[in-house]
Structure 1
Amino acid sequence: MVNSMNQYIFYIVILVLLAIPLGLYIGKVMNGEKVLLSKILVPCEKLVYRFLKIDSSEEMNWKKYGACILWISGISFTVLFLILLLQGILPFNPQGIKGMGIPLAFNTAVSFVTNTNWQAYSGEAQASYFTQTVGFTVQNFISAAVGISVLFVVIRGFINKQKEQLGNFWVDFTRIILYVLIPLSIILSVLLVSQGVVQNPGSYETVNLVQPITLDNGQTVTQEIVPMGLAASQIAIKQLGTNGGGFFGANSAFPLENPTILSNILEMLSILLIPAALCFTFGRNIKNKKQGIAIFSAMMIVLLTALTITAISEHTGTPQVTSNTSVDSSTVNQSGGNMEGKESRFGIASSVTWSVFTTAASNGSVNSMLDSYTPMGGISLMLLIQLGEVIFGGVGCGLYGMIGFAILTVFIAGLMVGRTPEFLGKKIEPFEMKMAVFACLATPVAILVGSGIATLVPSITNSLTNSGAHGFSEILYAYSSAGGNNGSAFAGLAADTPFLNISLGVVMLFARFVPLLAMLAIAGSLAKKKKIAVTSGTLSTTNTMFVFLLIFVILLIGALSFFPVLALGPIAEHLKMIM
């Protein structure tokens, strides 16, 4: 257990040490300040503007900025949807994989455009190399850049004084990709290739097994097919951009996608690297570092709480296992606890940390089977998504979602003391509150309405591997994953059905664009206001009291929204297990 504790501490410390300098770097990039890569990338940036005929000096209001986002998202969806339908006749398809059906293509295209990467398909069996590279990998960059762009509009809303202009979407979009996502992806890709992650355009290979396997029907298997592909480059951006979609069906539990302990650490830390760094970017760019640290602290406290609950549940295991004398569940020279569904290469500590990181971020990649977690371990993962994925969350969208909760918090605090609520020198008035409510409640509404309708569809029961409370948890997790733009799967649910493909796709769209547009509207409203001087009666939003008040509001909304359905799923399953 001491070794596991050391692992948990190591992962968190390294994450923070990497996030701080990266956050400062991103802040400089988005302000147009000189950075280490400026000599190389400034000419490239200008070339992009000339080629696309972009006026980099143009300033946009929130409506035009939002229209640009909807335009590029619409084009992205259309292009990817057509690629998925037509991949059977498109080039770079050595395995001759056929095109997807319309419902699955719709679901998959929506999934990647919304930064969800929910996969109702198996990557190596149903997606060609052309689809993986030109389709999925490109969208991983675009969707991540959109999320970060919106965050900087929100930042400018607090900085600007009595003006409508909030920057230029195309400039923000270009800088994020050129200066942040591409350099980090290149570095991570090279490191992953060094660990054995595949990166080649060759056809799948047939190899001889070291030891033949005899099946139940008596047939002996002596060979297996090993999939190839340009995996490392997609895996790098899927982790860094909190996309999460695996090149292979088994995602990061697959040996060719995550072959070593070092590759596991690199991929796992990459999940939260940019979301954590953006907290420090926020503090730097609003010229209030304490505010960035306060929001980071709130996120980290909830993350560590979820990590503790999940770790204790998985290291302890289940009563059924511990009471079985034929199973050694001790921690002497082995992982102990609940090893079901976890990689023996990584053990419980690395599996738990990855699962908490991926559900805290809107990432969704996995290195273990979430369906095999204990009920209490699973509920903490599910709740991290259901809180709105604001505990670091997706790149950009996690932080601007947390800012929405901060606005709710200062409004509630203002009511308590009888003062007009203020946040970062701007008055929070009815319009901002309405938009903040839209932003904070979009995820619960999408999840609850979607899963509620799904449970009423008779055919859904045929898609479940399990019945009872666990079967309900499988449905709830699927819609939570879609509504949180997460993309991870609880497993046990055969998601490739027309109803699930369409309904989950609609949930993803709603949960992505309603909060996004609401936060843009808040930024536009705040930018037109003048700054208010700090007085003795101004509520401090950087002290310990505010941090815990913010956490309370987040948990309150999550508990009120989801406790009834969680009681029918994982809580009921836990009570049944211990009785």
Structure 2
Amino acid sequence: MYTEFVGIALTFGLAILLAIPFGKFIAQTFSGEKTFADPFFNPFEKIIFSVSGIDPTREMNWKQQLKAMLGLNFLWFGLCYLVLLCQGFLPLNPDGNPSMSPDLAFNTAISFVVNCNLQHYSGESGLSYFGQLLLMFLQFVSAATGIAAAATVFNAMKERTTQTLGNFYNYFVKSCTRVLLPLAVVIAIFLAFNGTPMTFDGKDKITTLQGDSVEVSRGPAAAFVSIKHLGTNGGGFFGANSAHPLENPNYFTNCVELWAQLIIPFSMIFALGFYLKRKKIAYVIFGVMTIGFLLLVIPTVVSEINGNPALSKMGISQTGAMEGKEVRFGAPMTGFWSIATTVISTGSVNGMHDSTMPVSGAMQLLAMMVNAFYGGCGVGFLNFYIFIILAVFISGLMVGRTPEFLGKKIEAREVKIAAFIAILHPLLILSGTALAAHFAASDTEMGYWLDGKASGWLNNPGAHGFSEMLYENTSSAANNGSGFEGLADNNPFWNILTGILLWLGRFIPIIGPVAIAGLLAKKKFIPESSGTLKTDTTIFGIMVFAVIAIIAALSFFPALALGPLAEYFS
């Protein structure tokens, strides 16, 4: 078991170590500085812009940036929805998988467009290879959308006074070609050489040692699994996700996939420091995020190592709580992964979260409820940016000065937007859970909408059943995609409800920070003075952490008390 802690420490440490130079490269890329990659990627990018008719040098204001982003994503949603409805008779379907129902196609299309990849289907039987390839494309462009939005905010924070914030398409294309694609190729090669399939052949027939004939699903999985982690997407090529022996064959691939989840969110924080030429701000932000991450990881890993207390009372020896976990990974690594994937909003799993201990379930939920420690590609910082604005405003009130951030006054309009975004997240989660709990408790017959009695959704009664519904809504609103898989979620009610939460939970929290950054960028720059609140100090970091903790506690403690905490104390 101690060797597993070595694996965790090496993976986490290597991600931090490599994130610093990679963050510098990202900052140079978005600021237009020359990099070693220019000779390789400039010709390719010129072809893309030439064919599309886009001028990457045309400056855009924040409204034009958002218009371009939303327009592209609406287009991808429509395309994906049509393909999933028709995949049964489209090419690259050697196993003859059927087309999706309208409600499932609606949910799946939205889920992959918004970088969540909540899956109400099983990959082996639910998608053709054509459908898998389209979703793999969306895993690239949805991640690039978040990175491009973060680059827009970086630019707004850097400029003293400006109406324009760069070009969205330029940020977007470079996010794909220079950040995501090269790393994805390298990770895919590692996976392929360790046993992850990369083929367009259909199911393979094998004979087991017992003499049974078994059909094993395969496909272009190595490429899919690579970008699912790098882009913090998380959707599994196979139904069991990264617990599947072909998606995640061994302990080495487990560490590679875990590192892939960490590297870009870490790098984006350091990229901010290089971009602004204010490294201390990046260090403060990264420090706050890391403290929050560790406060979630440590109870989870300890809980999983100690095992199930019910089994301990029966005198059964345990090497950790191994129900729902793979022996090749072990309890500590699976516990660590479960927090990494919920904090970073990847949503991939190498074990079943529904089988983890109640304390672990509470920490997984809290990671998504906070949704500001590391986070997904680009959007992790955008969520944290909202708490920075609120912390600056509250600090200004405490010292009796007009709140300022990087030389710009924080006024009523910016604070209202930040407050709305901060309140929206718990509103989506709690209202969705309340609606689902009402139907489950009343056992209401709603025919088509509920596919029979709502109590049939739940695999477990009581507090754990409530946690299953709470987790599904939290995962959707946080654009995570993991689930307490005891919940029967492939029905019209859950497909439509979570589809709405997915769309609102993705784009409004992007629109808000970009709007705030654009409004601040237009304001007159105020030079720092002796009375200016320093935002690159430990004290300010503590203030931001306090704001995050207070908002999370006030919003979500009652729901957690009804779910995982009630289960723990029972």
Query: TM over 0.5: same fold?
Result: yes
2:455 is matched with 461
Q: Give the one of 312, 323, 326 matched to 1:343.
A: 326
Task: Kindly indicate whether the alpha-carbon contact (under 8 Å) linking 1:409 and 1:550 is maintained by their aligned counterparts in 2.
Answer: yes
Equivalent in 557, 567, 571 of residue 561 of structure 2: 567
Q: Which amino acid aligns with 2:358?
A: P
> Aligned to 1:199, what secondary structure does the other structure show?
coil
Q: Is the 8 A contact 1:19 1:273 kept in 2?
A: yes
Any conservation in 1 of the 2:5–2:333 contact (CA below 8 Å)? no
TM-score (norm 2): 0.96
Aligned to 2:282: 292
Partner of 1:317: 307
SS at match of 2:238: coil
- 1:406 partner SS: helix
Which residue in the other structure is 1:556 paired with?
Answer: 550
The answer to whether the 8 Å contact 1:359/1:385 transfers is yes
- Structure 2 Cα separation of the partners of residues 547 and 173 of structure 1: 30
- Pairing 1:153–2:159 present: no
- Is 1:434 the counterpart of 2:416? The answer is yes
Q: Distance between the aligned counterparts of 1:561 and 1:357, measured in 2?
A: 22
Matched ranges for 1:42-53 at <5 A: 42-53=42-53
| Structure-1 residue corresponding to 2:494 | 500
CA contact (8 A) 2:242 2:248 kept: yes
- Tell me what 2:377 maps to: 395
Match of 1:235 in 2: 225
Partner of 2:296: 306
Structure 1: distance between partners of 2:28 and 2:431? 41
Distance in 2, matches of 1:275 and 1:441, equals: 24
Structure 2 CA distance for partners of 1:35 and 1:86, relative to 1, 3 Å: same
Q: Which moved more, 1:278-287 or 1:27-36?
A: 27-36
Deviations 1:235-255 (A, max 9, x none): 111100000000000000000
1:499-578 counterparts in 2 under 5 A? 499-576=493-570
Kindly state the Cα deviation for residue 4 of structure 1 after the two structures are TM-superposed: 4.4
Assess if the C-alpha contact under 8 Å between 1:464 and 1:474 holds in 2. yes
Written as runs of structure 1 = structure 2, the 5 A alignment for 1:472-487 is 472-487=466-481
Q: What is the DSSP-based 3-state SS (H/G/I as helix, E as strand, rest coil) of the residue aligned with 1:353?
A: helix
3-state SS, counterpart of residue 225 of structure 1: strand
Task: Report the TM-score when normalising by structure 1.
Answer: 0.95
Equivalent-residue separation in structure 2 for 1:162 and 1:259 (angstroms): 52
User: Quick one: which of 360, 385, 399 aligns to 1:377?
Assistant: 360
Deviation track 1:361-385 (CA, whole Å, cap 9, x = no partner) reads 1110000010111101110011000
1:416 CA drift (Å): 0.8
Partner residue of 1:103?
103
Whichever residue aligns with residue 311 of structure 1, its letter is V
Partner SS state of residue 210, structure 2: strand
Shift of 1:30: 1.1
1:469 maps to a residue whose letter is: A
SS at match of 2:160: coil
Q: Which deviates more, 189-198 or 6-15?
A: 6-15
How is 1:202-241 mapped onto 2 (pairs within 5 angstroms)? 202-211=201-210, 222-241=212-231
Aligned sequence identity (%): 43
Distance in 1, matches of 2:411 and 2:155, equals 18
1:269 and 2:268 correspond: no
**d(CA) in 1 for partners of 2:350, 2:225:** 13
1:87 pairs with 2:70: no
Deviations along 1:82-107, one digit per CA (max 9) or x if unpaired, are: 01000011101011111000000000
Measure, in 1, the Cα distance between the counterparts of 2:325 and 2:540. Answer: 38
The AA in structure 2 aligned to 1:149 is: A
Aligned mates of 1:551, 1:11 — CA distance in 2: 25
Q: Does 1:184 align with 2:167?
A: no
Count residues with an aligned counterpart.
Answer: 558
Q: Secondary structure at the match of 2:215?
A: strand
Q: Does the Cα contact within 8 Å between 2:88 and 2:96 map onto a contact in 1? A: yes
Q: Which residue of 2 aligns with 1:359?
A: 342
Q: Which moved more, 1:237-246 or 1:24-33?
A: 24-33
Letter in 2 for 1:96: G
* 2: CA distance, partners of 1:67 / 1:18: 34
Deviation sequence 1:190-235 (CA, Å, 0-9, x none): 11111111100001011101235xxxxxxxxx12111110011111
Partner Cα distance (1:319, 1:32) in 2: 57
Question: SS state of the match for residue 207, structure 1?
Answer: strand
Q: Per the alignment, in what secondary structure is the counterpart of residue 146 of structure 1?
A: helix
In 1, Cα distance between equivalents of 2:162 and 2:373:
31
State the one-letter code of the partner of 2:325: K
Which stretch of structure 1 is more off in the superposition, 67-76 or 24-33? 24-33
Q: Report how far residue 548 of structure 1 moved.
A: 1.6
Deviation at residue 492 of structure 1 after TM alignment: 0.3
Residue 70 (structure 1) aligned with residue 81 (structure 2)? no
Asked if 1:424 corresponds to 2:414, the answer is no
1:82-137, CA deviations, whole angstroms, 9 ceiling, x for partnerless residues?
Answer: 0100001110101111100000000000000110000000001110000001x200
How far apart are the structure 2 equivalents of 1:117 and 1:150? 19
Give the gaps of 5 or more residues in structure 2.
445-452
Structure 1 gap ranges (5+): 213-221, 330-335
Report the counterpart of residue 405 of structure 1 in structure 2.
387
Distance, in Å, in 2 between the alignment partners of 1:103 and 1:204 is 27
CA distance in 1, matches of 2:349, 2:297: 15
The answer as to whether partners of 2:241 and 2:348 remain within 8 angstroms in 1 is yes
CA distance in 1, matches of 2:17, 2:314: 43
CA distance in 2 between counterparts of 1:240 and 1:393 reads: 12
Q: What is the one-letter code of the residue matched to 1:89?
A: F
Which whole-Å CA distance do the structure 2 matches of 1:403 and 1:418 have between them?
22
Output the amino acid matched with 1:450. Answer: G
